């Protein structure tokens, strides 16, 4: 049985290698591969195959703290000891029943209680589709409100992750409603994505509102009508809008931008701008994913920059992991070669 599976894995590796080699010989191969991986990240059949295959988890665990909140707390403590802060994410998305959304909410409240109990320097990051955005606005709003109440109780903050463009408007509306209406509104932050054309206008508005914004490139499959098809354009937009979020006006209005990227050239460009404009290193922070560019995380921290690590945990790791593969095709090779070990 074992040798059958091993033989099957080797055949799979063989054909995949040929396929990838063929693909890389063609122009735009990376973009094509990225599209396939992003498609697979949402395909239920692919999730079932991957998650029933134990070696897949071994590879995925490079990016994930573990299956339990205790794992996430343990990893956060280690990260804190290195001088970095954390944001913890209980993995899960696209739930379609109110019961599942409530279960996620309760798990996140328990996580906040543990953050408090263990004195960890961490916030939490949550996904609207995990908390019921597809079920109804009232459902997700009610869940987020309960999370904010818990954040106040346990003295932490909540960041609403940004998912694909179907939910951008609703997510921004929810964020504003919570921030303005809820008595604990100062404990909620939002995310914007540099690949969307609309983001320039969103940045402008959020500067006026003095928001707490994480800025990333964007991890989902988006149509060309909505997002820059060329990576270089996204990168240029990232730098342009980062500078706007660091402007005197933005800082004056209380904006605190968090630049979520591993792109060293971009990070160095932001740092150069900060030096040139004599902006305090406390006026912003960098954020990176657990398991990605640890060397850069520590280097920046040693240089006196604030760095926060995004630490996911839980059993629903499949879509998160596939997006990480899509971001860097070299990870795919690492994944496939580990499957046959
Ligand atoms: P880019 O993809 O250009 O990568 C630059 C370099 O970083 C690569 O050359 C490589 O060295 C390294 N790298 C990047 N990704 C890697 C990976 N997976 N494995 C190994 N090396 C890698 N997206 C979103 O749509 N909504 C959100 O809420 C968030 N939240 C979020 C939080 C945090 C803390 C981070 C860091 C990122 C996100 N993202 C996100 C994901 C983000 O949109 C983007 O997909 C990834 O960060 C990859 O883009 P980079 O900016 O790193 O640049």
Residue 16, pLDDT score = 64
Take atom 5 of ligand 1 and give the residue whose Cα is closest: 263
Closest ligand 1 atom number to CA of residue 231? 3
**70-116 pLDDT per residue, tens:** 999 999 999 999 999 999 999 999 999 999 999 999 999 999 999 99
Q: Report the separation in Å between the CA atom of 294 and the middle of ligand 1, taken as the mean of its atom positions.
A: 13
Q: For residues 29 and 8, which has the higher predicted lDDT (pLDDT)?
A: 29
Residue 88 pairs with which residues in a beta bridge?
124, 311
Q: Which of 45, 52, 150 is nearest to 107 (CA)?
A: 150
Q: How confident is the model at residue 59 (pLDDT cuts 50, 70, 90)?
A: confident
Question: What's the rounded Cα separation, in Å, for the pair 134 and 140?
Answer: 8
Take atom 50 of ligand 1 and give the residue whose Cα is closest: 261
Residue 200, pLDDT score = 98
**pLDDT at residue 26 greater than cutoff 70:** no
Q: Using a 6 Å cutoff on CB, does residue 217 contact ligand 1?
A: yes
Q: Using a 6 Å cutoff on CB, does residue 75 contact ligand 1?
A: no
Question: What's the rounded Cα separation, in Å, for the pair 60 and 316?
Answer: 11
Q: How confident is the model at residue 287 (pLDDT cuts 50, 70, 90)?
A: very high
Residue 1, pLDDT score = 45
**pLDDT at residue 122 greater than cutoff 60:** yes
CB half-sphere exposure, 29, CA atoms < 13 A: 11
Q: Report the separation in Å between the CA atom of 241 and the middle of ligand 1, taken as the mean of its atom positions.
A: 17
Q: Report the separation in Å between the CA atom of 261 and the middle of ligand 1, taken as the mean of its atom positions.
A: 5
**pLDDT at residue 280 greater than cutoff 60:** yes
Closest ligand 1 atom number to CA of residue 125? 28
Question: What's the rounded Cα separation, in Å, for the pair 35 and 325?
Answer: 11
Q: How confident is the model at residue 332 (pLDDT cuts 50, 70, 90)?
A: confident
Q: Using a 6 Å cutoff on CB, does residue 289 contact ligand 1?
A: yes
Take atom 21 of ligand 1 and give the residue whose Cα is closest: 292
**176-187 pLDDT per residue, tens:** 999 998 789 999
Q: Using a 6 Å cutoff on CB, does residue 220 contact ligand 1?
A: yes
Asked which of 139-143, 278-282, 289-293, 333-337 is least confident by mean pLDDT, the reply is 333-337
Q: Using a 6 Å cutoff on CB, does residue 267 contact ligand 1?
A: no
Take atom 33 of ligand 1 and give the residue whose Cα is closest: 260
Task: For residue 188, give the H/E element and its range.
Answer: strand 188-193
Q: Using a 6 Å cutoff on CB, does residue 260 contact ligand 1?
A: yes
Per DSSP (E only), the strands in 220-323 are 256-260, 285-289, 307-313
The pLDDT mean for the chain works out to 91
pTM equals 0.91
**198-240 pLDDT per residue, tens:** 999 999 999 999 999 999 999 999 999 999 999 999 999 999 9
Of 88, 233, 263, 311, best ligand 1 pocket probe by most atoms within 8 Å of the beta carbon: 263
Which domains does the chain show, CATH number per domain? 2-60+322-339 (no CATH), 69-316 (3.20.20.220)
Residue 32, pLDDT score = 79
Q: Using a 6 Å cutoff on CB, does residue 62 contact ligand 1?
A: no
Closest ligand 1 atom number to CA of residue 217? 43
Q: Which of 266, 257, 258, 262 is nearest to 235 (CA)?
A: 266
Residue 18, pLDDT score = 46
Q: Using a 6 Å cutoff on CB, does residue 261 contact ligand 1?
A: yes
Q: Which of 166, 127, 173, 162 is nearest to 147 (CA)?
A: 127
CB half-sphere exposure, 329, CA atoms < 13 A: 15
């Amino acid at each position: 049985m074992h040798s059958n599976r091993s033989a099957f894995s080797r055949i799979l590796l063989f054909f995949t290698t040929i396929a990838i080699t063929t693909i890389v010989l063609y122009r735009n191969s990376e973009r094509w591969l990225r599209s396939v991986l992003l498609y697979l990240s949402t395909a239920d059949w692919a999730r079932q195959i991957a998650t029933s295959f134990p070696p897949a988890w071994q590879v995925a665990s490079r990016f994930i703290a573990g299956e339990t909140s205790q794992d996430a707390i343990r990893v956060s403590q280690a990260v804190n000891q290195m001088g970095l802060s954390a944001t913890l994410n209980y993995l899960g998305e696209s739930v379609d029943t109110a019961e599942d959304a409530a279960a996620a909410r309760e798990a996140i409240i328990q996580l906040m209680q543990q953050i408090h109990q263990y004195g960890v320097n961490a916030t939490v990051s949550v996904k609207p589709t995990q908390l019921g955005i597809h079920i109804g606005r009232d459902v997700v709003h009610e869940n987020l409100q309960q999370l904010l109440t818990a954040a106040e109780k346990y003295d932490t903050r909540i960041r609403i992750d940004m998912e694909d463009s179907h939910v951008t408007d609703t997510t921004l509306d929810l964020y504003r409603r919570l921030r303005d209406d809820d008595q604990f509104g100062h404990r909620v932050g939002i995310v914007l994505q540099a690949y969307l054309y609309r983001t320039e206008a969103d940045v402008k508005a959020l500067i006026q509102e003095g928001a707490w914004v994480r800025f990333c490139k964007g991890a989902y499959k988006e149509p060309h009508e909505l997002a820059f098809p060329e990576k270089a354009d996204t990168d240029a937009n990232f730098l342009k809008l980062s500078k706007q979020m660091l402007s005197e006006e933005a800082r004056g209005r209380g904006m605190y931008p968090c630049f979520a990227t591993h792109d060293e050239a971009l990070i160095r460009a932001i740092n150069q701008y900060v030096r040139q404009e004599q902006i305090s290193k406390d006026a912003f922070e960098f954020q990176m994913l657990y398991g990605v560019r640890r060397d850069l995380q520590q280097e920046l921290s040693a240089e006196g920059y604030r760095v926060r690590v995004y630490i996911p945990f839980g059993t629903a790791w499949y879509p998160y992991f596939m997006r990480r593969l899509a971001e860097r095709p070299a990870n795919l090779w690492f994944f496939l070669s580990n499957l046959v070990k």
